[in-house]
Amino acid sequence: MRTTVGIIGAGPAGLLLARLLHNAGIDSVVLESRDRAYVEQRQRAGILEQGTVDVLRAAGAGERMDREGLRHDGIELRFARRRHRVDFPALTGGRSVMVYAQTEVCKDLIALQLKEGGPLLFGAQALAVEGAGTDSPRVRFRHEEREDVLECDYVVGCDGSWGVARRAIPEELTRVFERTYPFGWLGILADVPPSHDELVYARHDRGFALLSMRSPVVSRLYLQVPEGTDAEAWSDAEIWDELERRFETDDGWRLRRGTITSKSVTPMRSQVQEPMRYGRLFLAGDAAHIVPPTGAKGLNLAVGDVVTFARALGHQRETGSDDLLDTYSETCLRRVWQAERFSYEMTTMLHRSPDATPFEDRIQLARLERLTSARSAEQDLAEGYTGFAL
Ligand code: FAD
Ligand code: DHB
């Protein structure tokens, strides 16, 4: 099999890239190891930055998002039993975010790809990228019990943090920067209308909690839990009791309870692999970088990478110049490190480390006080949350 761009992975990065290339008249093949139902149901991110929303619309993939997504103009910060609203449009010159789940973004992009785009093979597991340093890279893969080879002009590894693409970059050329956190998030989906109309990020002495949503009748909530926690070790009643404690305010705010339909634990880590390109192999999304979920940057960063690649290849097609392909890694990494910084700051400001000292507790509270009293600090958060320029 032969194509211009071989894409490994049909998460948001791979699927959107295939759509952007299709719109630019460039052919691609997407290889995805899992089946369609798995990809469409994997519970993950829920918040789209303004730039991501704009890209999906421009790619012709925004119709259902515009109908069913929920535009949010702010978030609430909660600490010391008080509430503070951060007003995004007022602080950023009109920017906002959209609550629209990753599962739905993937469903929309898969439907478009199958209807209008090039081949998207489910159950096709990439085994290795070969010849990345040459003009004719190849992806060796297994599909329907048979091994095959996809011959490409370019390969883009959109295969997440456990994929094979990144391993094709020689170790001696690679640097990995990482940090793990001694806690994770226990996430639940519940059949109950959200208890607040915007997201609530709560810092509490017992740990962080987040109130989010998937629709006007489905809530998504998260609790900071110790690293290695088994989700099943928490009963439904214990989860609601703990959420209630962490969200409690002096003004009598109430948390609505409902049936929990899913429970899982996500570990928290930051990781960046540099560079994001070797020869004709490009890494995009989680294949190159992981952020802790606080601040919801993972999916949005993946979008930034593939927009950068599609733009660079389009430029190469129009002008014959490799300039933008050559600067792909640098261009992406500038934005990646801003998102890493933002996610790190949000994580460390809102979570309680198991070994936190009373001094560190006071500093956390002082950071939150500063946010609620200085417009410049609040503006910095609003700009980071709604997203860095693509
Ligand atoms: P992925 O979505 O991981 O897609 C990679 C795809 O490649 C997968 O479909 C995989 O099956 C496929 N693949 C892997 N190996 C191969 C192979 N060898 N051959 C073929 N296909 C392969 N972000 C937030 O902003 N908020 C959140 O609440 C949040 N929660 C998360 C929870 C979890 C458990 C995880 C893992 C991530 C979470 N994220 C969250 C991050 C966000 O979901 C990711 O940043 C986003 O999915 C990145 O998209 P991607 O396309 O780069 O990678
Ligand atoms: C969600 C996840 C996040 O990491 C976040 O900061 C906000 C919302 C969510 O899954 O809804």
182-268+353-386 folds as D-Amino Acid Oxidase; Chain A, domain 2 (3.30.9)
Distances (CA, A) of 292 to 64, 180, 300, 344: 28, 9, 13, 7
pLDDT (tens digit per residue) in 90-100: 999 999 999 99
Task: Find out whether the beta carbon of 302 lies less than 6 Å from any atom of ligand 1.
Answer: yes
| Residue 181 is among the residues annotated as catalytic for this protein | no
**In the chain, what is the straight-line distance between the N-terminal and C-terminal CA atoms, in Å?**
33
Q: Is residue 170 pLDDT above 90, yes or no? A: yes
Task: Find out whether the beta carbon of 49 lies less than 6 Å from any atom of ligand 1.
Answer: no
Q: Is residue 131 pLDDT above 90, yes or no? A: yes
Sheet holding 124-130, edge to edge: 124-130, 138-143, 146-151
Task: Find out whether the beta carbon of 277 lies less than 6 Å from any atom of ligand 2.
Answer: no
User: What is the model's pTM?
Assistant: 0.96
Distances (CA, A) of 56 to 132, 165, 294, 303, 320: 30, 25, 23, 9, 27
Predicted confidence at residue 388, as pLDDT, reads: 82
Predicted confidence at residue 390, as pLDDT, reads: 76
pLDDT (tens digit per residue) in 172-227: 999 999 999 999 999 999 999 999 999 999 999 999 999 999 999 999 999 999 99
Q: Which CATH entry fits the domain spanning 5-70+100-177+269-345: 3.40.50.720, 3.50.50.60, 1.10.3720.10, 3.40.30.10?
A: 3.50.50.60
Name the token pair of 306: 């593939």
Rounded Cα–Cα distance for residues 71 and 84 (Å): 19
What would the mean pLDDT of 271-287 be, rounded to a whole number? 98
Neighbour tally for 135: CB within 10 Å: 9
Distances (CA, A) of 339 to 180, 311, 319: 16, 21, 31
What type of residue sits at position 302? A
Residues of the chain with CATH 3.50.50.60: 5-70+100-177+269-345
ipTM above 0.90, yes or no: yes
Res. 102 pLDDT band, cuts 50 70 90: very high
Residues of the chain with CATH 3.30.9.10: 182-268+353-386
Helix and strand tally (H, E) in the chain? Answer: 12, 20
Q: Is residue 78 pLDDT above 80, yes or no? A: yes
Ligand 2, pocket-test mutation among 102, 104, 212, most atoms within 8 A of CB: 212
> Distance from the CA of 213 to the center of ligand 2, in angstroms?
9
Name the token pair of 48: 């789209």
If phi over 0 gives left and psi between -120 and 50 gives alpha, with beta otherwise, what is residue 123? left
Rounded Cα–Cα distance for residues 138 and 11 (Å): 20
Q: Which of 37, 3, 38, 35 is nearest to 22 (CA)?
A: 3
| Residue 100 is among the residues annotated as catalytic for this protein | no
Task: Find out whether the beta carbon of 184 lies less than 6 Å from any atom of ligand 1.
Answer: no
Q: Is residue 16 pLDDT above 90, yes or no? A: yes
Rounded Cα–Cα distance for residues 47 and 60 (Å): 19
Ligand nearest to the CA of 44: 1
